[in-house]
């Protein structure tokens, strides 16, 4: 299976390295052609405003919306979560969410860099805790009943799934722990 | 309640933000209006300062940390991270910047150094630091003092890429040579680079710097951004190059596109059209103060 990692900006290399450790070919996606050769996609952390603008100028935005509605497996971390959400608070007024998971997020909802943190998370189906690294992370303010909450922190969802889309407000690619990537690949190979 | 081991200001958290800035463009801005233009153009972060390096160079005098009020104005006007500069060794300025919630502190040679022997002990801060370097030894010394991100210094405010290229080639050249060296040679490398042995050993083992490496100093065109990214920089800082050009907004946007698509000359050709005049630029032989020589 060829898994694309959106490489317009952000921590895409770390995701690609995680995929390669799990024995999967990672493809850096910068154009519609790259995207069309990917069977699943990871949208990494980075600046969501920058990525929004590059998604449109590269033409990937529309193809992404079409294919994900058709069931393409997608993992979005941090900025990826913001882009995939259905509603963005404190974003830029022209920032268009992809609307692929029915959650409302607040950009930098956990605060600025000085409030960025690490914390142990208890993720459904994992035998031991997972170290969540939250960098200027988005806060999930609301989820619809279509969305399954997989992990919470202080009563707020930090990892959610709807159909074949998984999002995290933290950075599994920074954690030196590939369990979330493995889970995503398993979902992708079953779909 | 279960113990969650909640920690702020850790190495991973500080380094993490640098990871998120990769592949992007950090732009120097002097007010909220410029900050908005930068964000609209797709900047991943802005560097708030009172004068861009080209003006610091022209005006002369002592260049200091910016007015906190001006930094706060910029923080309020954009959603992307805001960086600000402290003078080399001026830990009190850095404390002020941390207290107003600046996302990254640049201990910068663009400002007039405050201490001729010591850089800031950056381990004492929860806010992450970026520092400039002209060679590998300097980069590793800054990392040993707690910097989580290194930028090649280049020569700020000149619009001339030649120094940035020299610094990147020097850093990557030495990294290449160290990765080939045997374990006995690493002791000599540490001595020659005046860098801590464990960091030299780490570079030898991994073949890369222990923290991300961005490029700064002299980037004025989309092709400049592509050049330094191809040489190995992981993101770019653009100072005077945007707001000292004829038409800042389209140039800023073009440099963002070029930094993402640095390997695709056809996209570079497309985005480089009709951008108006770049900043004028200065030849190295004609400058009096070499900012890159500040710091050690």
pLDDT tens-digit series, residues B257-267 = 999 999 999 99
pLDDT at B3 over 70: no
From chain B, the residues in CB contact with A136 under 8 A are 17, 20, 81, 103
Which of the two residues, B212 and B60, has the higher pLDDT score?
A: B212
Q: Does A99 touch chain B (CB under 8 A)?
A: no
Question: Are the beta carbons of B155 and B292 closer than 8 angstroms?
Answer: yes
Q: How many CB pairs under 8 A join A and B?
A: 125
Say whether A160 is catalytic. no
**B261: closest CA of chain A, how far (Å):** 7
Q: Which of A15, A173, A181, A183 is catalytic?
A: A173
> How far is residue A61's CA from residue A72's CA, in Å, rounded to a whole number?
14
> How far is residue A114's CA from residue A112's CA, in Å, rounded to a whole number?
6
What is the domain partition of chain A in residue ranges? 2-189
**In which residue are the tokens 């909802």 written?**
A109
**In which residue are the tokens 């992007």 written?**
B24
What confidence score (pLDDT) does residue B2 get?
Answer: 52
For A135-176, list the strands marked E by DSSP: 139-143, 148-153, 156-162, 165-168
| Cβ–Cβ below 8 Å for A79 and B20 | yes
> How far is residue B196's CA from residue B38's CA, in Å, rounded to a whole number?
38
Give the chain B residue whose CA is nearest to the CA of A129: B4
Question: Are the beta carbons of A11 and A46 closer than 8 angstroms?
Answer: yes
> How far is residue B152's CA from residue B131's CA, in Å, rounded to a whole number?
8
> How far is residue B212's CA from residue B80's CA, in Å, rounded to a whole number?
19
Nearest neighbour of A113 by CB, restricted to B4, B12, B128: B128
Lowest mean pLDDT among A121-125, B7-11, B278-282: B278-282
Region A2-189: CATH code: 3.40.50.880
**Any residues with CB less than 8 A from the CB of B286 and at least 6 apart, and which?**
none
pLDDT tens figures, B218-240: 999 999 999 999 999 999 999 88
pTM: 0.95
What confidence score (pLDDT) does residue B12 get?
Answer: 92
Q: Which of B14, B75, B85, B122 is catalytic?
A: B85
**B39: closest CA of chain A, how far (Å):** 8
List A160's β-bridge partners, or say none: A149, A167
Instruction: Output the DSSP codes for B90-155.
Output: -HHHHHHHHHTT-SEEEEETTSPPS-SS----GGG-SS-EEEEESSHHHHHHHHHTT-SEEEE---
% of chain B surpassing 90 pLDDT: 83
Q: Does B100 touch chain A (CB under 8 A)?
A: no
pLDDT at B69 over 80: yes
Residue of A82, A135, A154, A174 for testing the chain B interface, max B β-carbons within 10 Å: A135
Establish how many alpha carbons lie within 13 A of residue A148's alpha carbon, considering only the half-sphere containing its beta carbon: 9
Per-residue pLDDT of chain A (191 residues; tens, 9 = 90+): 899 999 999 999 999 999 999 999 999 999 999 999 999 999 999 999 999 999 999 999 999 988 888 889 999 999 999 999 999 998 777 788 999 999 999 999 999 999 999 999 999 999 999 999 999 999 999 999 999 999 999 999 999 999 999 999 999 999 999 999 999 999 999 87
Q: Does A9 touch chain B (CB under 8 A)?
A: yes
B290 pLDDT band, cuts 50/70/90, is confident
What confidence score (pLDDT) does residue B1 get?
Answer: 44
Is the ipTM reported for this complex over the cut 0.90?
A: yes
Pairing of strands B104-108, B149-152: unpaired
| Cβ–Cβ below 8 Å for A90 and B6 | no
Q: Which of residues 107-166 of A touch B (CB under 8 A)?
A: 107-108, 112-122, 133-136, 153
A23 burial via Cβ count (<10 Å: 0-12, 13-18, 19+): exposed
Q: Does B261 touch chain A (CB under 8 A)?
A: yes
**A76: closest CA of chain B, how far (Å):** 14
DSSP code at position A174: G
> How far is residue B270's CA from residue B49's CA, in Å, rounded to a whole number?
31
């Amino acid at each position: 299976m060829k898994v694309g990692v959106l490489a317009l900006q952000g921590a895409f290399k770390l995701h690609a390295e995680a995929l390669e450790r799990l024995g999967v070919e990672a493809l850096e996606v910068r154009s519609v052609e790259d995207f069309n050769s990917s069977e699943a996609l990871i949208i990494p952390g980075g600046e969501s405003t920058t990525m929004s603008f590059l998604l449109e100028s590269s033409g990937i935005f529309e193809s992404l919306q079409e294919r994900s509605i058709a069931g393409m497996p997608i993992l979005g971390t941090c900025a990826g979560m913001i882009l995939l959400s259905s509603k963005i608070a404190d974003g830029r007024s022209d920032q268009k969410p992809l609307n692929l998971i029915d959650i409302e997020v607040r950009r930098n909802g956990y605060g600025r860099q000085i409030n960025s943190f690490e914390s142990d998370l208890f993720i459904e189906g994992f035998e031991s805790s997972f170290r969540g690294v939250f960098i200027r992370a988005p806060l999930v303010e609301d989820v619809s009943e279509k969305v399954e909450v997989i992990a919470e922190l202080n009563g707020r969802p930090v990892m959610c799934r709807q159909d074949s889309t998984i999002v995290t407000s933290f950075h599994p690619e920074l954690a030196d722990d590939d369990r979330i990537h493995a889970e995503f690949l398993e979902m992708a190979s079953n779909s | 309640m279960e113990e969650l081991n909640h920690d702020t200001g850790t190495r991973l958290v500080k380094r993490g933000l640098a990871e998120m800035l990769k592949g992007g463009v950090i732009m120097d801005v002097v007010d909220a209006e410029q900050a908005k233009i930068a964000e609209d153009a797709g900047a991943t972060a802005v560097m708030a300062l009172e004068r861009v390096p080209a003006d610091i160079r022209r005006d002369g005098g002592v260049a200091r940390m910016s007015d906190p009020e001006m930094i706060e104005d910029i923080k309020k006007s954009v959603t992307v991270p805001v960086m600000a500069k402290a003078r080399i060794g001026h830990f009190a300025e850095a404390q002020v910047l941390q207290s107003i919630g600046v996302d990254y502190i640049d201990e910068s040679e663009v400002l007039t150094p405050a201490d001729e022997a010591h850089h800031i002990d950056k381990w004492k801060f929860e806010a992450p630091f970026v520092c400039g370097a002209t060679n590998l030894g300097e980069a590793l010394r800054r990392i040993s003092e707690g910097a989580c991100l290194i930028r090649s210094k280049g020569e700020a405010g000149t619009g001339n890429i030649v120094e940035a290229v020299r610094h990147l080639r020097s850093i990557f050249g030495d990294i290449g040579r160290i990765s080939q060296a045997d374990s006995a040679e690493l002791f000599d490398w540490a001595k020659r680079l005046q860098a801590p042995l464990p960091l030299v050993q780490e570079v030898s083992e991994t073949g890369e710097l222990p923290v991300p490496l961005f490029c700064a100093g002299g980037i004025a065109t989309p092709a400049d951004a592509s050049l330094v990214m191809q040489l190995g920089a992981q993101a770019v800082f653009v100072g005077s190059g945007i707001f000292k050009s004829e038409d800042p907004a389209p140039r800023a946007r073009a440099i963002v596109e070029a930094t993402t698509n640095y390997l695709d000359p056809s996209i570079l050709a497309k985005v480089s059209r009709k951008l108006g005049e770049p900043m004028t630029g200065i030849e190295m032989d004609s400058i009096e103060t070499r900012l890159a020589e500040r710091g050690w």
